[in-house]
């Protein structure tokens, strides 16, 4: 059995691919942390944080992305751009995909530009 986080990332990847985004890499990690998905859309690099909750009694999945986590994602994205994309001028954004419910029939909330510098 696969961990729920891995399955949630696969659900998010399929959802975004169905909307025209192309996967570059999964689980990019560096000393600052990890980015769940790195994708490309219309020439823009899209960093994606995936969050899953079985229900929203204690808040939405997106609400669980703390300020500290946002800072880690920003640092990791900058690292990716400098080391992998070899450019700080690459257009990019950071999205959050919130997944609620059971993973075989989830509710998906895609928030574009959810985190900004």
Distance CA 117, CA 107 (A): 28
Structure tokens, 46: 């899209």
pLDDT averaged over 10-residue windows placed end to end, the chain, 117 residues = 80 98 97 97 96 90 94 96 79 96 93 91
Residue ranges covered by each domain of the chain: 4-115
Cβ(107)–Cβ(61) under 8 Å? no
**79 DSSP assignment:** H
Output the pTM of the full model: 0.92
Distance CA 87, CA 77 (A): 11
Cβ(63)–Cβ(15) under 8 Å? no
Contacts of 33 (CB under 8 A, 6+ apart): 69, 72, 73, 75, 76
For residue 90, what pLDDT is reported? Answer: 79
Please check whether the domain covering 4-115 is classified as CATH 1.20.140.10: no
């Amino acid at each position: 059995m696969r961990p729920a986080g891995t399955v949630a990332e696969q659900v998010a990847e399929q959802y975004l691919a169905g909307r025209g985004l192309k996967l570059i890499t999964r689980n990019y990690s560096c000393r600052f942390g990890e980015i769940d998905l790195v994708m490309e859309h219309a020439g823009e690099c899209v960093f994606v944080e995936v969050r899953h909750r079985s229900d929203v009694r204690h808040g939405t999945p997106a609400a669980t992305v703390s300020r500290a986590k946002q800072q880690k994602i920003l640092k990791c994205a900058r690292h990716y751009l400098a080391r992998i994309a070899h450019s700080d001028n690459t257009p990019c954004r950071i999205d959050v995909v919130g997944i609620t419910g059971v993973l075989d029939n989830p509710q998906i909330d895609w928030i574009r530009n959810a985190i900004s510098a």
